[in-house]
Structure 1
Amino acid sequence: MNPVEAHWLALEAGLADYLSRKGVVPSCRAGCFACCFGLVTLSRLEGEALLPHLTEAQRARLREEGPKRLALLKEGKDDPRFPSRFFRERRPCPLLEGGLCGVYPFRPLACRGLLTAGDPAFCQPEAQAPEGHFLQTPWRMAHRRMEALWEEEGQRYGFVVIGELAGLLYLLLEGLPETREEVEGLLEAMGVLGGRWGFQVVEYPLP
C-alpha cells in the first residue's frame, strides 16, 4: 500500500473511533458539497498519491482549471480575505462530479478532516456559520497526519511543496522540476510563491 494511502485509512479509522467514543454523528452526507467550493491545500506527496486514481476526464478538467486557480492565487495570495472571497465565488473543485466527490476514497486529508454535526445549511458560502460549527478535533487529527506526510516528503525529496489542490495537481501533471531551486524558480515566475496563501516550499530537514 502507498504510504500516503495508509495515512488516509489511518485517519478514517481514527475519526471513526473518536466520533463513536464521543457519540458524535456528522451531518455530512453524499450530495452535500458546500465544502467543495473551499480553498483546499495539499502537499506534493499527497498529490502524487492521488494522480494514479484520476480518470482522463478528471485530468482534462485539472488541466483546464489549474491555470485559472494559479492566476487567482497570483492575484490574491497576499489578501487575508482571499479564502472567504474564493469560497463565495462558488468555484467547484474540478474533481466534483454531479454533487459527489469523484475521488472520494482518495480525497486529501484536508477534505477528510472537515466535518460538522450541525445544520449543513451553515456550510454554504453565503451562510454565517456559528462558532464551533466545524468540529475542531477531527481537523486537528487530519492536520497531524498532514505534518507526518510533510516530514515523509522532506525525507524523500529534501524539501516540501504545499499548495492549492487544483493548481498543484495541474503542476504535477505537467511535471515539477527536480530541485528545490528549480521548483521555487517556477513558482516565483508564476507569481504564486509565498505570501499568506501562496505555495510554500520548505527545505528539509528544517534549518
Structure 2
Amino acid sequence: MTPEEAWRALDQDLADYLARKGVAPSCRAGCFACCYGLVSLSRLEAKALLPHLTKAQKARLLEEGPRRLALLAQGKDQEDFPSRFFRSRTPCPLLEGGLCGVYAHRPLACRGLLTQGDPSLCAPEAKAPKGHFLPVPWRMARLRMEALWEEEQRRFGFLVLGELAGLLYLLLTGLPEDRPGVEAKLQALGVLGGRWGFQVV
C-alpha cells in the first residue's frame, strides 16, 4: 500500500462510516485549532508529501524544522510536552491563511481527527471535554497508519516515526537511508527515543 492509497482508502472509509451513522462533523475550512498540535507520521508518508510542497512551504519548514527539533529534544521525556506545545499556539508550517496548504495530501493523523461538537472547543485554551473528538475515525486512521508502518518496514527494513515539521525538515536537508545513520543523526540532535521523540523500529 502506498501513502496515496492509504489517504484515499481512509477518506472513503470515513465517508461511509459517517454516512452510515448519520454523523456530520463540524470541522470546516477555516477551522484550524487542531493545526497547533504535534502531528506524527512515518518517513514513508512524509516522503509522499514532499513532492507536493511549494517553494514557500519548503522555506517555512527549513526555518521551523530546527526549532521543532530543539523543542522536542528538550521535552521528549516530559509527560505534558504535547499539551504544552499545543497551548503555545505554534501553527503547523503548512497552515496558510487558516487553511491546510497540503489538504489533499495531509497525513493520516490529520484526517482522523474529527468532531461533531463545537469547533471552538478544539482551541488549545478550551481544554476539549472527554468525547469531544470522535473515537472511531481516529481508530480508523490509526489502522491505516499501522499498515503504512508495516509497509515502510518491508521496503526499508526499519521504520522511522517522528513529528511532521521535524521529519520533513530532516528529509529536505538529508536524512541517511541506513538505520545506523538515521539513529546516529537523531541521537546527535537529541530527539531519538523518549516518550515523544522519534522512534526507529
TM-score interval for Structure 1 and Structure 2 normalised by the shorter chain = over 0.9
Task: Show the counterpart of 2:53.
Answer: 54
Task: Show the counterpart of 2:43.
Answer: 44
Task: Show the counterpart of 1:70.
Answer: 69
Task: Show the counterpart of 1:128.
Answer: 127
- The TM-score with structure 2 as length reference comes to 0.99
Task: Show the counterpart of 1:205.
Answer: none
Task: Show the counterpart of 2:160.
Answer: 161
- The structural deviation recorded for 1:120 is 0.5
Task: Show the counterpart of 1:105.
Answer: 104
Q: 2:168 is paired with a residue of what secondary structure? A: helix
| CA distance in 2 between partners of 1:6 and 1:178 (Å) | 23
Q: Deviations over 1:158-181 (max 9, x none)?
A: 000000000000000112112101
Matched residue type, 1:82: F
- The structural deviation recorded for 1:128 is 2.2
Query: Residues 126-205 of structure 1: matches in 2 within 5 Å?
Result: 126-202=125-201
Q: Deviations over 1:10-37 (max 9, x none)?
A: 0000000000000000000000000000
Matched residue type, 2:37: G
- The structural deviation recorded for 1:74 is 0.3
Q: Following TM superposition, where does structure 1 have runs of at least 4 consecutive aligned residues deviating by more than 2 angstroms?
A: none
| CA distance in 1 between partners of 2:181 and 2:2 (Å) | 26
Matched residue type, 1:114: L
| CA distance in 2 between partners of 1:85 and 1:131 (Å) | 18
Alignment: residue pair count = 201
- The structural deviation recorded for 1:61 is 0.3
Task: Show the counterpart of 2:11.
Answer: 12
Task: Show the counterpart of 2:93.
Answer: 94
| CA distance in 1 between partners of 2:2 and 2:83 (Å) | 33
Aligned residues: CA RMSD:
0.7
Q: Deviations over 1:101-159 (max 9, x none)?
A: 00000000000000000001110000121110000000000000000000000000000
| CA distance in 2 between partners of 1:128 and 1:160 (Å) | 33
Q: Does 2:82 match 1:83? A: yes
- The structural deviation recorded for 1:48 is 0.2
Q: 1:132 is paired with a residue of what secondary structure? A: coil
| CA distance in 2 between partners of 1:147 and 1:72 (Å) | 26
- The TM-score with structure 1 as length reference comes to 0.96
* Gap regions ≥5 residues in structure 2: none
Q: Deviations over 1:31-66 (max 9, x none)?
A: 000000000000000000000000000000000000
| CA distance in 2 between partners of 1:178 and 1:40 (Å) | 22
Matched residue type, 1:191: G
Q: 2:162 is paired with a residue of what secondary structure? A: strand
Identity of aligned residues (%): 75
Q: Does 2:27 match 1:28? A: yes
